[in-house]
Structure 1
Amino acid sequence: MKPKVVVTRKLPTEIYDQLSKRCQVYMWEEEEKPIPRSELEAQIKDAAALFCMITETVDAELLDQAQNLKVIANMAVGYNNIDISTCEARGIRVTNTPGVLTDTTADLAFALLMATARRIPEGMDTIRRDEWNNWSPFFLTGQDISHATLGIIGMGRIGSALAKRAKGFEMEVVYNNRSRNYEAERISGAVFASFDELLEKSDYVCLLTPYTKETHHLIGKDELQKMKKTAILINVSRGGTVDEEALYAALKSNDIYAAGLDVFEGEPIASTHPLLTLSNVVATPHIGSASVNTRMEMARMTARHILQVLNGEDPDHLVV
């Protein structure tokens, strides 16, 4: 009998076919809506593999329902939605999809930086509201990007790719990481800095760190007060790395200039979210890796990881 795979979101036929040659596949038939928890609990009881998204909370309670589970393949780089310690204790392998989304996410980070600095969404809204009535010397003036200082918190694959993009704009790049990234320093000229030094010096602070207990609210009231009043915060990591109440207060009182945000503490957010009431916030709905090619390759990689584990092989990208 073929091993059962539970896929928690409707995916293209190519991915279904990739899995169905080796497995019995249960695929949730909605693309935009996540699988209900009760349905996931019911389906995972006899599953050998779980193909999941960051929207699924794979905790000990869910794992208690899964007596035959061998692998959890997360279609994401981050895996804070999965109880890793419980999986490790039970011998359940966990995989993720690093590398494939590096350039796409770095592109989005730099797009947010530019859109926020040059106030592009505000400009569009001005035209749509018929408020562009004349030209004036300081109409919708923003911040320069070329020759500015970019501070990157988390110099992994995406941070390194962002530093390369900054080099094209002749930006000075400083970074903070758990350890020095000598390769990034060599390629982009990035300079290692202490966390406080980065906050104080940077015109743009970009968060690219994983979300962990240590990075929860990494940017809060104290950190925001250390930043320049003309500084812009960009977050394309996880929403929980920023204290949103503190960020709202800092933006409202002009303690920092603006923020470009792709992620939020609770997702999806409503249109009434306090940060969306501010004109100096540019927000996108967690689309860092959202190009057609990248998402397809992430799905292929996730399916491949499942097949590798079920075939007794080591998966390409193993968390535990």
Structure 2
Amino acid sequence: MLKKVKALLIGDAMIPGKSFEGAYEKYLKRFIDQVKVGDWESDWGKLQNRRLEVEKKGPEIEEIDPLIKAEGKDASVLMGLFLPVSSKVFEAMPNLHIVGVSRAGLENVNVEEATKKGILVFNVKGRNAEAVSDYAVGMLLSECRNIARAFHSIKGGKWRKEFSNSSWVPELKGKNVGIVGFGYIGRLVAKKLSGFETNTMVYDPFVDAEVIKKAGAVPVDKETLFRESDFITLHARLSEETKNLVGEKELSLMKPTAYLINTARAGLVEEKALLNALKEKKIAGAGLDVFWTEPIPEGSNFLKLDNVTLSTHIAGTTKEALSRSPELLMEDIEKLLKNEETRFVVNPEVLQDERFKKWLDGVRKC
């Protein structure tokens, strides 16, 4: 067999390189005859800290992975999960044509620079949508029904029956649920909550109103959603436009019996505003799986509150979400190489770049 393409598969503690190699064997072996496999960060604790710093500050803060330094010069494809893909990586890989990350977020990839260099970028939208949507519904129920607090009291030798919301502990039937962000996850949350017979409202200025209506929800503006919802669950992407999307103004619109659930990104919410709203009981409670600093600091005021449910950024972590994401990524790259329609191309303008077209035609002819 003639040599076609060399790929670097660089996993981490969450999805090891060996998992990427297994997906390669299934989908891309026909096109890629040489692979080098490694792990960017194999220590779980260190991975959490490093990836969060990259998400805040971008991939340029990290040095080039050793495997890229050693093997990247003649590689055409680079795939990973949280691996930082910076301009320094592009300089070290002059023959790079495809970058793929098996996650929805792109904070660890310099997409702008990739596009300039004619490098096609793939991500995997919705890879953990089932997991996060399940968890959001679970967090909603846990917070409003005091599930975690009751468990904690039993573990502490008490039989607690009184809670901060005891006079209005709600059922879901007939309640207004507001969903902020109607992508893969938001749509699944709406579908799953429909079984509880809730009334669903959606705020997402980037989604056509007819799409929202077709899903059985009502499109509304942000103020209406915050004013009328009994539960608000956040599923928007974090960007400069959505940073602090929920601040003092939005929280002041909420009912004193309403709950805010965030399994998306901490930066969507203004931290001090939420803390004050909870302390002063301007809202009934909150369920948070994401934090402005992770792990949550020991002295955090959120730990002193009795009307918040906290978890350790695990909403998207299920066996299925992790194991299938490299396969979803490589299946889509395979479609490109087979001249079939793809789902996950981030910068489609590169498909018209002459440098990329020349390389792609050569691979397809092999």
What is the TM-score when the length of structure 2 is the normalising length?
0.76
Query: Structure 1: any 5+ residue segments left out of the alignment?
Result: none
CA distance in 1, matches of 2:282, 2:137: 22
Q: Does 1:24 align with 2:35?
A: yes
1:171 CA drift (Å): 1.0
- The more displaced of 288-297 and 109-118 is 288-297
Q: Higher helix fraction: Structure 1 or Structure 2?
A: 2
Counterparts of residues 131-210 of structure 1 (less than 5 Å) = 131-132=158-159, 142-178=169-205, 179-188=207-216, 190-210=217-237
Letter in 2 for 1:27: G
Native 8 Å contact 1:154 1:208 kept in 2: yes
Letter in 2 for 1:254: K
**Match of residue 34 from structure 1:** 47
CA distance in 1, matches of 2:295, 2:340: 36
Native 8 Å contact 1:152 1:205 kept in 2: yes
Q: Determine helix, strand or coil for the equivalent of 1:174.
A: strand
**Match of residue 309 from structure 2:** 282
CA distance in 2, matches of 1:315, 1:96: 11
Decide which of 23, 42, 60 is 2:87's aligned counterpart.
60
For residues 192 and 52 of structure 1, do their structure 2 counterparts lie closer, same or farther at Cα, with a shift above 3 Å needed?
A: same
**Match of residue 95 from structure 1:** 122
Q: Determine helix, strand or coil for the equivalent of 2:105.
A: coil
CA distance in 1, matches of 2:319, 2:157: 34
For residues 48 and 111 of structure 1, do their structure 2 counterparts lie closer, same or farther at Cα, with a shift above 3 Å needed?
A: same
**Match of residue 6 from structure 2:** 3
Native 8 Å contact 1:236 1:262 kept in 2: yes
What is the TM-score when the length of structure 1 is the normalising length?
0.86
For residues 81 and 15 of structure 1, do their structure 2 counterparts lie closer, same or farther at Cα, with a shift above 3 Å needed?
A: closer
**Match of residue 211 from structure 1:** 238
- The more displaced of 219-228 and 258-267 is 258-267
For residues 131 and 290 of structure 1, do their structure 2 counterparts lie closer, same or farther at Cα, with a shift above 3 Å needed?
A: same
* Higher alpha-carbon Rg: 2
CA distance in 2, matches of 1:292, 1:318: 25
The count of residues paired between Structure 1 and Structure 2 equals 317
Native 8 Å contact 2:18 2:37 kept in 1: no
- The more displaced of 179-188 and 253-262 is 179-188
Alpha-carbon deviations, 1:242-286, whole Å to 9, x = none?
112221122122121111122223444445443233222222233
For residues 282 and 157 of structure 1, do their structure 2 counterparts lie closer, same or farther at Cα, with a shift above 3 Å needed?
A: same
**Match of residue 317 from structure 1:** 344
Q: Determine helix, strand or coil for the equivalent of 1:112.
A: helix
**Match of residue 49 from structure 1:** 77
For residues 257 and 81 of structure 1, do their structure 2 counterparts lie closer, same or farther at Cα, with a shift above 3 Å needed?
A: farther
Q: Does 1:244 align with 2:271?
A: yes
Native 8 Å contact 1:232 1:259 kept in 2: yes
For residues 290 and 261 of structure 1, do their structure 2 counterparts lie closer, same or farther at Cα, with a shift above 3 Å needed?
A: same
For residues 252 and 77 of structure 1, do their structure 2 counterparts lie closer, same or farther at Cα, with a shift above 3 Å needed?
A: same
CA distance in 2, matches of 1:137, 1:111: 19
Native 8 Å contact 1:305 1:316 kept in 2: yes
Letter in 1 for 2:42: E
